[in-house]
Amino acid sequence: MAAASVSSRMCVGSIPCQTSFNASIRASSAPCSSLPIPVCGRKQRVQSLSSAKLLAGKAITFSSARPVASGGGRTSIRAALSSAEAGIATSDVAGLSSKYGIPGSVSIEKGEGGSTKVVLKHESGAEADVYLFGAVVTAWRQPDGKDFLYVRPDAKFDGSKPISGGIPHCFPQFGPGEMQQHGFARNLDWAIVSTSADANPDDPEPMLELLLTDNEYTRKMWPYEFAAVYQVTLKAEALVASLRIINLDTQPFDFTAALHTYFRAAIDKVKVSGLKGLQSLNKDPDPNNPIESKETRDEVTFPGFVDVMYKDAPEELILDSGLGYSIALQSTGWKDAVTWSPYKTMESCYKEFVCVENAQLDPVVVEPGKSWKAELRLQPH
């Protein structure tokens, strides 16, 4: 749909503070202009959907804990999402800034390689950078300036390949498999749906909500209509990443996925705890025929090349970075975990990072009109 044909306008401050953009739409059958007077909308930036589509539409529940109602709502959900997508070009930093920027909390900037990034700023001094290309959180800076995430020196930000570092998405395939390694979600521009900084009245936490839907390119690899909605919230001492996959198709689909997090670490000292007793599948030496075993160590270390998948991981893993601090990875919905260190296959940087990934390794089936949700909360431990 051409941007010009879309009735899309600012709807600043018309959303009650406690709800997200989508929850508000769900709660309302009214067009944007007739939604309630701002409660604390000063720090809310949303892209309104076409009012006609909202009035005609069924519930859009991709930010709620409840699955999307099945049945006839799909067409209108799709229409509403198309409207949300057909906004400002991802390269239009000025346009995106005026629509979604929130002074002091959310800024839209030109990042590395000319790619657009969103910087979330918490009043504690913490910051997070999120690139629209791949919806990758590339930095999570602490108030003292330390960045807990890592971007490889060979990372490209110009769209020529996925950004190698931070928190890339693996979707709809963790891999290896029929499509490109780790799927297509990290190769595409995601659209901003909303930003806010007032969901919590006691703590102005900046939040960014991004959207990816199918297109010709994705359907060639994975022939389904879908929406992926990704919310990143920066708290004083935590980064929360919440992913929802909605089936907009008329048939069920299945996928595997992961958040492929690159943590800054000292490879000779880093340890991961919480994996003991889990079934492990070692992709070394043959990723297509992993060797099954059981993890016996309290603390998993990285003395050489490591590429291991763990089934049914607990909701909390602890990463001791070896740099003087530890990070808790708390997750819901992500059933499995992966540890990866390329070791000397990446001579220039292997000493500086480790990947501990929250994953869904067995295909998850989503029925038409239903959705799947998983959340990762990272916080100092």
Q: Site residues (CB under 6 A) for ligand BG6?
A: 164, 181-182, 260, 283, 287, 307, 338, 340, 357
Q: How far is the CB of 16 from ligand BG6 (least distance, A)?
A: 39
Which two structure tokens, joined as six digits, stand for 163? Answer: 């950004």
Amino acid at 89: A
In the complex, least distance from residue 3 CB atom to ligand BG6, rounded to whole angstroms: 33
Q: How far apart are CA 266 and CA 319, in angstroms?
A: 11
Q: In the complex, what is the shortest distance from the CB of residue 190 to ligand BG6, in angstroms, rounded to a whole number?
A: 18
Nearer to ligand BG6, 274 or 369 (CB): 274
Residue whose CB is less far from ligand BG6, 287 or 363? 287
Residue 106: strand pairing partners = 102, 120
Phi-psi category of 125—alpha, beta or left, where left has phi over 0 and alpha has psi -120 to 50?
Answer: left
* Nearer residue to ligand BG6 within complex by CB, 108 or 338: 338
Alpha carbon separation from 105 to 44, 76, 300 (Å, rounded) = 10, 32, 37
Provide the minimum distance between the beta carbon of 2 and ligand BG6 in the complex, in angstroms, as a whole number: 35
What CA–CA distance (Å, rounded) separates 90 from 188? 11
Could you tell me if 87 and 189 are in contact, meaning their C-beta atoms sit under 8 angstroms apart?
no
- Measured from the CB atom, is 129 or 307 closer to ligand BG6? 307
Least Å distance, CB 183 to ligand BG6, is: 11
Q: How far is the CB of 323 from ligand BG6 (least distance, A)?
A: 21
CB 116 within 8 A of CB 208: no
In angstroms, the CA 111 to CA 114 distance is 6
Instruction: Say which residue the tokens 């998983």 belong to.
Output: 374
CB-wise, 22 or 138, nearer to ligand BG6? 138
Cβ 225 to ligand BG6 shortest distance, Å: 26
The C-alpha angle with vertex 88 and arms to 53 and 51, in degrees rounded to 5, equals 15
Local structure of residue 187 (DSSP, 8 states):
G
DSSP 55: H
The residue (of 88 and 306) whose beta carbon lies closer to ligand BG6 is: 306
Separation between Cα atoms, residue 100 and residue 48, nearest integer Å: 12
DSSP 50: P
- CB closer to ligand BG6 out of 319 and 338: 338
User: What is the rounded radius of gyration, in angstroms, for the C-alpha atoms of the chain?
Assistant: 20
Question: Please, is 220 exposed, middle or buried when counting C-beta atoms within 10 Å of its C-beta (0-12, 13-18, 19+)?
Answer: exposed
Neighbours of 333 (CB within 10 A): 17
Residue 115 Cβ, how far from ligand BG6 at the closest point, in Å?
17
Instruction: Quote the least distance from Cβ 140 to ligand BG6, whole Å.
Output: 17
Question: Please, which residue, 18 or 181, has the CB nearer to ligand BG6?
Answer: 181
Rank residues 325 and 350 by Cβ distance to ligand BG6 and give the closer one.
350
Residue pair 42/19 in contact (Cβ under 8 Å)? The answer is no
User: Closest CB to ligand BG6 belongs to which residue?
Assistant: 340
CB of 145 to ligand BG6, least distance (A): 25
Question: What tokens appear for 154 in the block?
Answer: 């060979």
Q: In the complex with ligand BG6, which residue's Cβ is closer, 237 or 312?
A: 312
Phi, psi angle pair for 82, to nearest 5°: -60, -40
